[in-house]
Amino acid sequence: MTNLATILTASALRYPHHPAIRLHDLVVTYAELDDLTARTAGWLLANGFEPGDRVGIVMPNVVAFPVFYYGALRAGATVVPINPLLKSGEIEHYFGDSGAKLAFVWATAADEATIAGNVTSTEIVVVDDDTLAFAARWPSIPELVPRADDDTAVILYTSGTTGAPKGAQLTHANLHRNCTTFIGLFDLGSTDVVMGCLPLFHAFGQSNGLNAAIAAGASLTLVPRFQPTSVLELIERHRVTVFEGVPTMYVMLLNTDAGLDTTSLRMCISGGAALPVEVLRGFRETFGAMILEGYGLSETSPTATFNRPDKTKPGSIGVPIEGVELKLVDRDGSDTPSGEPGEIVIRGHNVMKGYWNRPDATSAAFVDGWFRTGDLATRDDDGFYYIVDRKKDLIIRGGFNVYPREIEEVLYQHPSVREAAVIGVPHPTLGEEVAAAITLRPDTTALPEELREYVKARIAPYKYPRHVWLVDALPHGPTGKIVKREIVIPAEFASPT
């Protein structure tokens, strides 16, 4: 019987006076975090909570998040992390679908969450900077409620790109094995300082950031809102050794000239979206730190593959982590040969036990025990995987497959391009046409025609974007990934006629 919260209690025994969480000038030691979570568990149990009850956490990256996260786990509850920027209707879906009995809500999200809670009968506990002092007076129950390895620890909701968000059930064993495997991959230890820019309500930030740091006895520096100059200042002030981010964050850091000391960085981790090779190279030249790219999904706890410090290839998402299998299959489910694109399917200790209350979606997501990711990739003869694109993002132009990432890689090589997103737009005879929305680097210029010709000269004729337009900014999701479905297509390119 295992409870994920043992990663905290074990580290608190080993490193009681070591900083566990930092936020600006606030430092919370492992002993203090352990005590606050034990009191949270005591409060929940005193108020009638039982193992398996769902507890929402609607918070940004603040100290209260790990307090209530591990506190709920200690009480045997199932945690439902929720983006605090969501509106009431969206929160209502999370509360209602999960059956959340209670939600700890950061003050800035209280109004929207309260509206949702009134509909779903979810009790709302509003949390602010004074709440932890109040929580310190709650009765403490140090003992953890035992949970089985396959009991659901966290319900992580997917982004909902193909309908209403579905809740991926991640077990105590899923999350424990994933974070400890991550620690082993990168030799994370108690002397490390991890930069917590990634949202803790998201799989990447929660497992690879929070859980891995806590399990290793490291310090986690929380960043509630990503601002590149402030992040670089924190790297210098806290002597951050491990930075974890999505490609957009690396792009922003590369375009920030702060002149700060970042020599403490020993390693950078990238995931959540494909990292352009030019960004990887530029970051290493500018900051002197290696970026290791990996791959995963909410449904895989999330880590499935990673490059290793001694085994890496630029542009690759690496090789499967220990205990996890990947393969590529075609539309018929047959294995694809090396070098040929196929859908990634996964099986192993990291794969969720299923979608919450969605047996139909669970059944559709698995084929012969393999989880279907919807992501397309190739594999080389050395076993390294390379993301081609999301299956749903594939552009079929006149019967030819066009993979947006390939065009984006070329665009990122142009000296004026800051960010690029390639999408398909309707076409009356071809079905779809290739289009690109682009932002430029500060103090640079480039015309759409110039960018179109730049790509045209470097790839096959059917692939280059016929439609190119410049924008001030591209839409980003909570983790910083570009959200292509929210890109506004200019009227002259949007009509298929």
Q: What is the pLDDT of residues 356-391, one digit of tens each?
A: 999 999 999 999 999 999 999 999 999 999 998 877
Element (H, E) at 453: helix 448-456
The DSSP secondary structure of 235-289, one letter per residue, reads HHHHT--EEEE-HHHHHHHHT-------TT--EEEE-SSPPPHHHHHHHHHHH--
pLDDT beyond 90 at 43: yes
* CA separation for the pair 55, 214 (Å, rounded): 21
Question: Which of 152-161, 234-243, 419-428 has the least mean pLDDT?
Answer: 152-161
Q: Strands, E, within 280-408: which ranges? A: 291-296, 303-306, 319-320, 324-329, 342-348, 354-355, 366-367, 370-379, 385-390, 395-397, 400-402
Kindly state the average pLDDT of the residues 211-225.
97
165: closest CA among 478, 495, 473?
Answer: 478
> What are 142's two structure tokens?
């140090």
* CA separation for the pair 472, 450 (Å, rounded): 18
Instruction: Give the count of beta carbons closer than 10 Å to the beta carbon of residue 312.
Output: 17
Whole-model pTM: value is: 0.86
* CA separation for the pair 274, 277 (Å, rounded): 9
CA angle 368, 374, 380 (to 5 degrees): 85
Q: Which residue has the tokens 């665009």?
A: 411
For 163, 341, 411, 473, 481, the CA distances from 484, given in Å and listed in that order, are: 15, 22, 16, 12, 9
> What are 289's two structure tokens?
């730190």
Q: Kindly report the average pLDDT of the chain as a whole number.
A: 93
pLDDT beyond 80 at 400: no
* CA separation for the pair 220, 197 (Å, rounded): 10
Q: What is the pLDDT of residues 55-97, one digit of tens each?
A: 999 999 999 999 999 999 999 999 999 999 888 988 999 999 9
The domains of the chain, with CATH numbers, are 6-377 (3.40.50.12780), 394-494 (3.30.300.30)
97: closest CA among 480, 361, 296?
Answer: 361
